[in-house]
């Protein structure tokens, strides 16, 4: 991790050299040790940076260029292999610093559990925070095979922390019955299967509120994102996900932080998923950091 000291790793394309002046800060959370299925997302952030070099700097969707946004890439947060609790503490500490310095956190995972300390810390900072969550999975478990620090629990944790009514999930196509029931009973929004249309209905109700956007890449169909731990058919296309990001960008919500998680390069034939991830981050930087 770096703020101002010399750094010898790749950074996301067009990152500025100066932390102080940056409006947003990109960072990686290379943790994958609580996943129950295929690990490997620890390498996601570095590969996303590497292929970002091939991105066009201009978005024909938003008619804006990366040079118009001031962001700094802090590298990956060094996390202790196999120690989930300590890793989450380190992430929380890092985010507290960013928020103190007035930065918008832009996270790259890593498994989805890394979003929990980020969302919690952002919630401590912004009253009335809402979460927009796009994912194949509910992630609403209390624990997974005895572990509460599991990649299946982050949305449950933040929903309990800020209240389930402030959490909006989209594109969900997997979970156990109890998770769906809990959401229903507690007034949490879940849109099954679809993202764009229900999101367009929700966005006007969130106008003016601070919003944290957390995207699990597996909200995409495996055809569009094979490079992830859990491949679950029936997902959305990358076109729908791009359009959903643009819908948020063009709405009246105030995005105060966002992340993209669960990119696992080892399963990523033809580098399709890492390239998609880097384009999604470009679009979010251009659309959310104003």
Binding residues for Mn(2+): 112, 135, 137, 139, 216, 218
**CB neighbourhood size of 158 (10 A):** 27
What mask of x and - would describe binding to a copy of itself in positions 116 to 145, judged by CB under 8 A?
Answer: ----------------------------xx
C-alpha 212: how far from chain center = 9
Residue 70: other Cβ atoms inside 10 A: 16
Report, in Å, the least distance between residue 128 CB and a copy of itself.
Answer: 30
Min dist. Cβ of residue 41 to a copy of itself (A): 9
**How many Å apart are CA 9 and CA 26, to the nearest integer?**
13
Within 163-233, where are the H helices?
177-185, 196-202
Closer residue to a copy of itself (CB): 67 or 128? 67
DSSP 43-67: GHHHHHHHHHTTS-SEETTTTEEGG
From candidates 128, 165, 176, 207, binder to a copy of itself by CB under 8 A? 176
Q: 115-125 and 154-162 helices cross at what angle (nearest 10)?
A: 10
Beta-sheet pairing, 167-172 with 130-134 = parallel
Any idea which residue has 């959903």 for tokens? Answer: 244
Binding of a copy of itself by 156 (CB under 8 A): no
Please tell me the distance from the alpha carbon of residue 287 to that of residue 270, in angstroms, as a whole number. Answer: 27
DSSP single-letter state for residue 197: H
Q: Report the nearest approach of a copy of itself to the CB of residue 59 (Å).
A: 9
**169's tokens:** 């999930």
Of 62, 142, 202, 226, which lies in the binding site for a copy of itself, with binding defined by CB under 8 A? 226
Q: Site size for a copy of itself, by CB under 8 A?
A: 91
Q: Which of residues 73-92 bind a copy of itself (CB under 8 A)?
A: 74-78, 80-84
Nearer to a copy of itself, 104 or 206 (CB): 104
Q: Which listed residue (44, 154, 164, 175) binds a copy of itself by CB under 8 A?
A: 175
- How many whole angstroms separate alpha carbon 206 and alpha carbon 6? 41
130 or 182: CB nearest a copy of itself: 182
Report the residue from 132, 238, 249, 287 that binds a copy of itself according to the rule CB under 8 A. Answer: 238
- Contacting range for a copy of itself; rule: CB under 8 A; set: 123-131, 168-176, 199-207, 254-262: 168-176
Q: Which 6-65 positions form the footprint of a copy of itself (CB under 8 A)?
A: 6-11, 15, 17-20, 27, 32-40, 42-43, 46, 50, 54, 56-58, 60-61, 63, 65
């Amino acid at each position: 991790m770096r703020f101002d000291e010399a750094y010898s790793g790749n950074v996301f394309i067009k990152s500025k050299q100066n932390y102080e002046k940056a409006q947003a800060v990109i960072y990686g959370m290379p943790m994958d040790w609580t996943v129950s299925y295929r690990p490997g997302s620890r390498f996601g952030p570095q590969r996303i940076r590497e292929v970002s070099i091939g991105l066009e700097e201009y978005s024909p969707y938003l008619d804006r260029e990366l040079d118009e946004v001031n962001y700094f890439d802090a590298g990956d947060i060094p996390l202790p292999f196999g120690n989930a609790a300590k890793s989450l503490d380190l992430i929380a500490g890092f985010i507290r610093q960013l928020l103190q310095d007035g930065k918008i956190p832009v996270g790259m995972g890593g498994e989805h559990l890394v979003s929990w300390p980020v969302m919690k810390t952002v919630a401590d900072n912004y009253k009335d925070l809402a979460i927009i969550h796009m994912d194949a999975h509910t992630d609403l478990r209390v624990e997974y095979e005895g572990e509460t620090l599991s990649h299946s629990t982050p949305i449950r944790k933040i929903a309990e922390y800020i209240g389930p009514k402030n959490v909006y999930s989209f594109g969900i196509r997997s979970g156990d019955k109890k998770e769906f029931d809990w959401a229903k009973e507690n007034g949490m929004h879940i849109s099954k299967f679809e993202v764009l249309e229900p999101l367009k209905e929700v966005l006007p109700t969130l106008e003016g509120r601070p919003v944290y956007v957390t995207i699990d890449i597996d909200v995409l169909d495996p055809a569009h994102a094979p490079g992830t731990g859990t491949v679950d058919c029936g997902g959305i296309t990358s076109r729908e996900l791009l359009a959903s990001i643009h819908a948020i960008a063009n709405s009246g919500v105030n995005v105060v932080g966002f992340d993209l998680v669960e990119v696992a390069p080892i399963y990523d034939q033809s580098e399709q998923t890492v390239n998609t991830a880097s384009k999604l981050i470009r679009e979010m930087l251009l659309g959310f950091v104003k």
